[in-house]
Amino acid sequence: MDSSNDEALDIIITNVVATFRVRCHLNLRTIALEGNNVIYKPDCGKVLMKLRKPKITASIWSSGKIICTGATSEDDAKLGARRLARVLQKLGFRVRFSAFKVVNVLAVCSMPFSIALIDFTVNNRPIASYEPELHPAATYRIKHIKATVQVFSTGSITVTGPNVQTVATAVEQVYPLLFECRKPLRK
Amino acid sequence: MLNNNTGPVAKLYLSIIDDVIESMRELFLDEGLEDRVLDDLRHLWEAKMMQSKAMEDFRKNNMNSSNFVLQLPASYSRTDQELTASVVIPASHNIHSFPMKTNSETIATFSLPAGLSYPVQIPAGVTLQTASGQLYKVNVPVVVTQAPAGQPLISRTMQRVFVGREAPAPQSYAVPPKTTRPQGVDPPSVPASSLQLPPHSQVDIPPCQEKSVPQPPQVPAAEPSQLQGVRSPEPNINLEENEQSPQREPVNLSMNASPCSQLLEQISSEEALSQTAQFKSRDIDDILKEVIEEEREKAERARNLAPAKNDNQSDPVLGLDLDFNYNELSDIVQLDGPAGNSDMEEEEGGPMEENDFLGLINAEAIKALQEGEGSSDGNSVSSSSDSEGVDLAEAVEEDPLNSGDDVHEQDIPDLFDTDNVIVCQYDKIHRSKNRWKFHLKDGVMCYGGRDYVFSKAVGEAEW
């Protein structure tokens, strides 16, 4: 998705988090003992299973709820989730793939210019917050689309939102604001 | 059975066998079984073990003692150079010359390193003594070649050979040390240029096929004489060989474990190599791992069950072992999540023990309560949490997954079907992203058919 300028900004999706349910109780011990590439965390009450093909890590609870992280696209997340369910099915559980939902998408984007954070914060007073002692980035929350943009002085930004579309929209929205507060040349 | 020079793994295993057998003796007698049965068992056991890691034992023998002890008659005193030249072994990597110490009184002897590559030229008039004590007198110059079953290890082993002599002889005795990676400790007392004759010299030589030795013509034995000290420092360790030095210096191994990972291991203290049939080594591993007393009890039971089965005597023992442990394990009630609501899909195997009843009772009670609500719960939860179309979507989605055999087959199915196993305890297992670090202790590794015993092991792997 481009900004209003002519240049194209590369929005790179780094992480997609999704949850789904298998609609049946899972015996974590069985999964831990018989599954491939699993890490059992009895203190947390979950099993981590890592898949290679869509590179994802899934946290599996005994209730049948599964959180799938590490995918690079929404489709990847779905594919990974289904594969995971398939693995569980092969382990002997009567799984039913249901309630798949992408919960969070994290993307990074790099502006071709540096940003003066203080100016940026001042211009966008209530929506942006900047606490340099806590975190070196200014946080810009877009409430109506529920996206959060973190702006770094180097010009890199990270965007998190409930889905990829939201993220793209957020970048578009924030670009002009950043453009205003840019520092002369990108270092 | 315990030769002086068996490797530590062999020693360990043999001592375990000894312990077990000895502790069984009384029980056997109590049961009314003859002692002979126990001895039979022992022999069978040792035979199987020897067979599976027989090479290791032999190799250890050869490593620690020479293949050849060349004994020259006194008349050879003047032919130093000649003899030296003729005994020069055309090794591919090393050329060792063995100067003969010649006193008129004593018969010169020295040992050939086992690491030499054949063929070896032996001059006439020399008496050869193999590690097992056989003496061969060579009447004609012979060339000893290695049996075709010779192992590739030998040619790759590099080593230094020091010839210790009673009186220093300035002639050609230089042993060119060709060390690729000098190991931690050289025999401190023997630098390259000085000679020492230790009173009881240990001849430590990397393994050679002992079987290849009796190639020289069979001849009546000549009288043995003093052994000249030939001391070889620990050979350099190549990747797969892991020769064990007599002093048991720490060795560096580098190996590939599972296909996708690089494993670097550093093994200190007890370790050695042997060849084992993998299954057999598992047996031994089990024995190692289980408490010996437990194993004894089970052995007793097994004996009672199958007294006549000499052949598989060890197996029922171990079978029982394994079964017992498995049952124990499966009795543990899973306590995470809503207790024990796994319905029918996972059955608790094995007999329940009293301790577990409490947990089970609770689980069952809860199950009974929730059974009616269980299915409807699921539906209501899912429909409430998601949008309205979810029910339809569910119906659509369920089917593809269930019928979708093409949804996914495991990409790398038999990753675990490897013969290289480590059975041990862990100190610490750590992971960062996809980098794993292992701190292991007290274990046995079966790698490439050989057994390595360690008290500490450190490893790294990438997933």
DSSP conformation letters of A19-77: EEE-SS---HHHHHHHSSSEEEETTTTEEEEEETTTTEEEEEETTSEEEEEEESSHHHH
Which residue of chain A is at minimal alpha-carbon distance from B411? A53
Segments in B262-353 forming alpha helices (H): 278-289, 292-305, 314-331
End-to-end, the C-alpha distance of chain B in Å comes to 44
> How much is the pLDDT for B404?
52
3-state per-residue secondary structure call for A131-147: CCCCCCCEEEEECCCCE
* Contact criterion met (CB < 8 Å) for A52 and B411: yes
> How much is the pLDDT for B437?
96
> How much is the pLDDT for B418?
73
Those residues whose C-beta lies under 8 Å from the C-beta of residue B304, and which sit 6 or more positions away, are B31
Distance CA B17, CA A25 (A): 47
- B457 is written with which tokens? 């092991």
Assess contact for B408 and A82: CB atoms under 8 A: yes
* Contact criterion met (CB < 8 Å) for B394 and A94: no
Distance CA B30, CA B17 (A): 20
Distance CA A134, CA B179 (A): 57
Q: Average per-residue pLDDT in chain A? A: 89
* Contact criterion met (CB < 8 Å) for A87 and B410: yes
Assess contact for A76 and A105: CB atoms under 8 A: no
- H helix count then E strand count, chain A: 4, 10
Alpha-carbon torsion angle B327, B330, B333, B337, nearest 10? 180
Q: Which of A97, A100, A101, A103 to mutate to test the interface with B (most CBs of B within 10 A)?
A: A97
- How many residues does this entry show for chain A? 187
Assess contact for A19 and A68: CB atoms under 8 A: yes
Distance CA A10, CA B223 (A): 88
> How much is the pLDDT for B209?
41
Which parts of chain B sit beneath pLDDT 50?
65-69, 76-108, 149-281, 307-327, 340-350, 352, 374-396, 399
In B, which residues are within 8 Å of A29 by CB distance?
332, 334
> pTM to 2 decimals?
0.47
CA nearest B368: which of B327, B340, B337? B340
> How much is the pLDDT for A107?
95
- Listed as own residue / partner, the contacts of A134-138 with beta carbons closer than 8 Å and 24 or more positions apart are none
End-to-end, the C-alpha distance of chain A in Å comes to 24
* Contact criterion met (CB < 8 Å) for B401 and A97: yes
Which parts of chain A sit beneath pLDDT 70?
1-7, 185-187
Q: Is residue B389 less than 8 Å (CB to CB) from chain A?
A: no
> How much is the pLDDT for B267?
44
* Contact criterion met (CB < 8 Å) for A96 and B407: no
> How much is the pLDDT for A50?
92
- Strands B69-71 and A156-161, how do they pair? unpaired
> How much is the pLDDT for B24?
87
Distance CA B350, CA B329 (A): 9
> How much is the pLDDT for B29?
86
* Contact criterion met (CB < 8 Å) for A96 and B334: no
Reduced to 3 states, what is the DSSP secondary structure of residue B263?
strand
Residue B338 CA, chain-centre distance (Å), reads 46
Assess contact for A62 and A25: CB atoms under 8 A: yes
Those residues whose C-beta lies under 8 Å from the C-beta of residue A115, and which sit 6 or more positions away, are A151, A152, A153, A154, A155, A178, A181, A182, A183
Assess contact for B207 and B241: CB atoms under 8 A: no
Which residue of chain A is at minimal alpha-carbon distance from B407? A83
In A, which residues are within 8 Å of B385 by CB distance?
99
Cα A122 to Cα A117, A118, A138, B153, B228: the distances in Å are 8, 6, 11, 74, 91
* Contact criterion met (CB < 8 Å) for B407 and A86: yes
Cα B291 to Cα A73, B25, B295, B297, B315: the distances in Å are 52, 18, 6, 10, 17
Shortest CB distance from B408 goes to which of A37, A39, A86? A86
Q: Which of A48, A60, A61, A62 to mutate to test the interface with B (most CBs of B within 10 A)?
A: A62
Give me the residues paired with residue B127 across strands: B71, B137
> How much is the pLDDT for B230?
41
CA angle B227–B180–B67, rounded 5-degree value: 25
CA nearest B448: which of B293, B285, B241? B241
* Contact criterion met (CB < 8 Å) for B397 and A37: no
Q: Which of A29, A55, A163 to mutate to test the interface with B (most CBs of B within 10 A)?
A: A29
